[in-house]
Chains A and B, each alone.
Chain A
Amino acid sequence: MKLDTSGLETTMPVIGFGSNSEMLDGFSSAPSFDLPRTTDFDGFQKKAVEMVKPAKGTTTLAFIFKEGVMVAADSRASMGGYISSQSVKKIIEINPYMLGTMAGGAADCQFWHRNLGIKCRLHELANKRRISVSGASKLLANMLYSYRGMGLSVGTMIAGWDETGPGLYYVDNEGGRLKGDRFSVGSGSPYAYGVLDSGYKFDMSVEEASELARRSIYHATFRDGASGGVASVYHVGPQGWTKLSGDDVGELHYHYYPVAPITAEHVMEEAAE
C-alpha cells in the first residue's frame, strides 16, 4: 500500500521540458513507504511496541558451568501492583534429572511442564532410555508453537543432565527455542544479567556458582518491583538435581548490607544543623 501523493503533484507541465517527463521522475513525487496492510494503522504501531515489552513479572536464571547447571528463581506472584503470593514455586521438577523454570502465566507454566513430564516418561517407556534435554525442550517448543497466538504466556528454561552432559534450553510461548549456556527470563532479568555476566566464570565450584546465582536473584528482587520473596537455588549434576538453598530476600539484604547502628554523637550533630 503506497501513500497517495497525487495531491502534491502539479498538473501544469513544466516549461522547457515539454513532453520529456523522464527528467522529472523521482523529483516531482514525494518519497513513499510501504505501509502495513491494516485499517487501524496507529493501533497496529502500538501493538507492535507492546509486543516487545517484557510482560513476565518474575526473575529466573540458569547457567551452565564446569560442575553442571545452576538454576535459580525468585518466588513472587504479582497481579498488576498487588502481590498475590510471596511463596510460589517457580522451579518445576519435571523428573529427577530435569528442571523447568516458570515465568509468565503460572497456570500455563505448571500445566505445560507437567504435560512435558508425562511425555518424557512415555518416551522412556517406549524407547527404554531417558529423553535428552534437547528432545524434551523440542517437545515443549512444538507444543507451544501449535498454540501460538492464543494468548499463552510461558517463558521457561529447561535445564538437565543427559548423555551429552549438561543441557540448557530457553523455550517461550512464541515457539522460540534457543540453546545456550546463560539465560535469565522475566522483568527482573536485566538486573540479574548485570550481576551474572560480570561474575561468571566457567571454572567455578558449586558453592561459588550458587552464591553467584543467589546474588543475581537478590539484586533483581531489590531493583524490580515484580520480583521478591525467596531466592531458591538448585543444582543439576550427573546424578540429577538437588535443591541447594532457599533464602528469604528480605534477610539477604541485611546479610549483604548490614545496617550500622547510629551512635548518639551522630544524632546530636544532625540536630545542631
Chain B
Amino acid sequence: MSIFEYNGSAVVAMVGKNCFAIASDRRLGVQLQTIATDFQRISKIHDHLFIGLSGLATDVQTLYQRLVFRHKLYQLREERDMKPETFASLVSAILYEKRFGPFLCQPVIAGLGDDNKPFICTMDSIGAKELAKDFVVSGTASESLYGACEAMFKPDMEAEELFETISQALLSSVDRDCLSGWGGHVYVVTPKEVKERILKGRMD
C-alpha cells in the first residue's frame, strides 16, 4: 500500500443552489488497524469557507495549522475574510513550495464566494487545481466516490436534498473501501447558517 493509503480517508464536496456541502469519513487507521473513529478531516477557515484534507494524517493536521495561520494574517492585514478562489490559490502555492518534498495530502476546498455563489475545487498533493461545477472527491475511496456522485448528483439542489445526496454518496462509497468509513461528518453551508451533522455508518 502506498503512503497515501497509510491512514485512509474519504472527502467529498458538492454544489447546490446557493449552498454547498462538504463531507468526510471519520476513520483514522494505521494501514489495516483502526485507531480512532472520530478524526477531524474537515476544518473551518471562516464561516463560508471549509477545507477537507485527505491523505497522511500528520500532514493533514500540519497543513491545516499552516493555512489557518496564513488566513489569520490575511484577516489582520486586509480586515476581511479571504475569498474561496483566493484561498485556493494560496493552498496551491503553499503545496508547490514543497514540490520536492511534498505534503502527502489532497485538499478539497469548498466555499461561498461573491453573491453567495458556491465554489468547490480539489488539488493533488503538489497543488494542481481542479475546479468543478458539480462535485469533487479525494481520498482512498475516490474512485467509488466518483461513481456514486456521478450517479446521484443533480444540479441546483436545495440544502436538505443536498445533504441526503452527499451522505448517501459518501456512505455507499466508503462501504466499498477497507481503509475509510466508520461514520461520516457532513457540513451543509448556506448563506445564513452552517449545519454540522454526524452520520451513522457501518463500523466495519
Q: Which A residues lie at the B interface, using CB under 8 A?
A: 57, 74, 76, 78, 80-83, 86, 187, 221-229, 249-250, 253-254, 259
Q: Determine whether B132 belongs to the interface, using a CB cutoff of 8 Å to chain A.
A: no
Which residue in A83, A225, A227 is a CB contact (below 8 Å) of B176? A83
Q: Determine whether B178 belongs to the interface, using a CB cutoff of 8 Å to chain A.
A: yes
Contact A83 B200 (CB under 8 A): no
Chain A residues with Cβ below 8 Å from B33 are 223-225
Most B Cβ at <10 Å: residue of A57, A74, A81: A81
Chain A residues with Cβ below 8 Å from B203 are 221-222, 249-250, 253
Besides A78-B178, A82-B178, A86-B175, 20 other A-B contacts (C-beta < 8 A): A76-B178, A80-B1, A81-B1, A81-B5, A81-B140, A81-B178, A81-B179, A82-B176, A221-B203, A222-B203, A224-B33, A225-B8, A225-B29, A225-B31, A225-B32, A225-B34, A249-B202, A250-B203, A253-B202, A259-B200
Contact B202 A81 (CB under 8 A): no
Q: Determine whether B177 belongs to the interface, using a CB cutoff of 8 Å to chain A.
A: yes
Q: Determine whether B114 belongs to the interface, using a CB cutoff of 8 Å to chain A.
A: no
Q: In the docked arrangement, what's the CA distance between A59 and B65, Å?
A: 39
Main secondary structure of the interface of B (DSSP, over half): loop
Known: A222-B34, A223-B34, A224-B32. A249 touches B204 (CB 8 A): yes
Chain B residues with Cβ below 8 Å from A250 are 201-204
B49 smallest CB distance to A (angstroms): 20
Contact B204 A57 (CB under 8 A): no
Q: In the docked arrangement, what's the CA distance between A235 and B19, Å?
A: 54
- List 20 contacting pairs A-B, 8 Å CB cutoff, sorted by A: A81-B1, A81-B8, A81-B140, A83-B175, A83-B177, A83-B178, A221-B203, A221-B204, A222-B203, A223-B33, A223-B34, A224-B32, A225-B31, A225-B34, A225-B178, A225-B179, A229-B204, A250-B201, A250-B202, A250-B203
Closest to A191 in B: B33
Which residues B169-204 have CB closer than 8 A to chain A? 175-179, 200-204
Chain A residues with Cβ below 8 Å from B179 are 81, 225
Q: Which B residues lie at the A interface, using CB under 8 A?
A: 1, 5, 8, 29, 31-34, 140, 175-179, 200-204
Chain A residues with Cβ below 8 Å from B202 are 228, 249-250, 253
Chain B residues with Cβ below 8 Å from A227 are 204
Known: A57-B32, A81-B140. A226 touches B178 (CB 8 A): yes
A189 smallest CB distance to B (angstroms): 12
Q: In the docked arrangement, what's the CA distance between A221 and B202, Å?
A: 10
B151 smallest CB distance to A (angstroms): 18
Which residue in A82, A187, A228 is a CB contact (below 8 Å) of B204? A228
Most B Cβ at <10 Å: residue of A74, A76, A226, A229: A226
Closest to A249 in B: B204
Chain B residues with Cβ below 8 Å from A78 are 178
A185 smallest CB distance to B (angstroms): 15
Chain A residues with Cβ below 8 Å from B5 are 81
Q: Enumerate the 3 nearest inter-chain pairs by beta-carbon distance, A residue then B residue, closest first.
A: A228-B204, A250-B202, A225-B178
Closest to A85 in B: B176
Q: In the docked arrangement, what's the CA distance between A82 and B174, Å?
A: 10
Closest to A188 in B: B32
Most A Cβ at <10 Å: residue of B31, B32, B140, B201: B32
Q: In the docked arrangement, what's the CA distance between A187 and B179, Å?
A: 14
Chain A residues with Cβ below 8 Å from B1 are 80-81
Q: In the docked arrangement, what's the CA distance between A228 and B201, Å?
A: 13
Known: A76-B204, A81-B5. A224 touches B34 (CB 8 A): yes
Q: In the docked arrangement, what's the CA distance between A187 and B29, Å?
A: 14
Chain B residues with Cβ below 8 Å from A259 are 200
Closest to B203 in A: A253
Closest to A220 in B: B204
A106 smallest CB distance to B (angstroms): 16
B103 smallest CB distance to A (angstroms): 21
Closest to A187 in B: B32
Q: In the docked arrangement, what's the CA distance between A228 and B175, Å?
A: 10
